[in-house]
Amino acid sequence: MKLNKRTIFAASSALALGIGLLFPTSAEAHCDTPDGPVAAALEQALAEDNFSYIASWVLEEDEAELLEVYELSTSVMETTDSEDTVHLAERYLLENLVRIHRAGEGAPYTGISNDPIAPENAAADASIEEGTLAPLEAAGLITDENRAHAEEVFAQVLATKEYDHDDVAAGRAFVENYVVFTHLFEVGHDEEHGDEHAEEQAEEHEESETSHD
């Protein structure tokens, strides 16, 4: 099933625009864009009819849900002559893939973003592709304070980067390292997740107090 990126995302623009008006773009919108890694994995999965490409981008416990969506969507694509129906099936698959992926990160689903990829994400992707921190250094994102940690996480990314795409466990290992690495440089990521962690701790404390009463 050979599909191109323009076909996959043409029907997503209107809905993404509507959702974008309702919800602000979060610090983690990198994986929500048509040019991001999740969308690229989906494009490869459809081109080769290989679910493993996108299975790696969701947690193991969410794989069955994504597979059901994938099989339903591809079945529709293969049995219709209507371009509009194909677009709708592709949009349904993309949005559910992004939603399930973000849920695995503990992040809300806010639609498909048409915003350009943030410079820090582009630099992180370039560093991974080139196998060097030079793009991040050129962008001023590697400092004396974060260099040691960035180098440690980057080494883990590179160690898991090359894997058999039919080996979903290996794919998940890379994705996990990839997400950790790119989040190091995302503006607002620490603050956003720090707030979530604080809320979780408050809830746990409240439950503990209630159990002691």
How does DSSP assign 78-111, residue by residue?
HH---HHHHHHHHHHHHHHHHHHHHHHTT-----
The token pair at 1 is 């099933």
pLDDT at 5 over 70: no
pLDDT at residue number 197: 38
As a whole number of angstroms, the distance between CA 82 and CA 50 comes to: 23
pLDDT above 70: percentage of residues in the chain: 74
Nearest C-alpha neighbor of 190 from the set 26, 24, 23, 20: 26
Longest alpha-carbon distance in the chain: 64
pLDDT at residue number 34: 86
Kindly state the average pLDDT of the residues 79-92.
Answer: 96
pLDDT digits (tens, 9 = 90+) for 148-191: 999 999 999 999 999 999 999 999 999 999 999 999 998 644 43
As a whole number of angstroms, the distance between CA 17 and CA 12 comes to: 9
pLDDT at residue number 187: 67
The number of CA neighbours under 13 Å toward the Cβ of 173 is 14
> How much is the CA Rg of the chain, to the nearest whole Å?
19
Q: CB neighbours of 65 closer than 8 A, spacing ≥ 6?
A: 100
Helix (H) and strand (E) counts for the chain? 11, 0
Which tops the pLDDT comparison, 117 or 89? 89
State the Cα angle at 112 between 111 and 114, rounded to 5°: 130
pLDDT at 9 over 90: no
Contact 53/45 with Cβ under 8 angstroms? Answer: yes
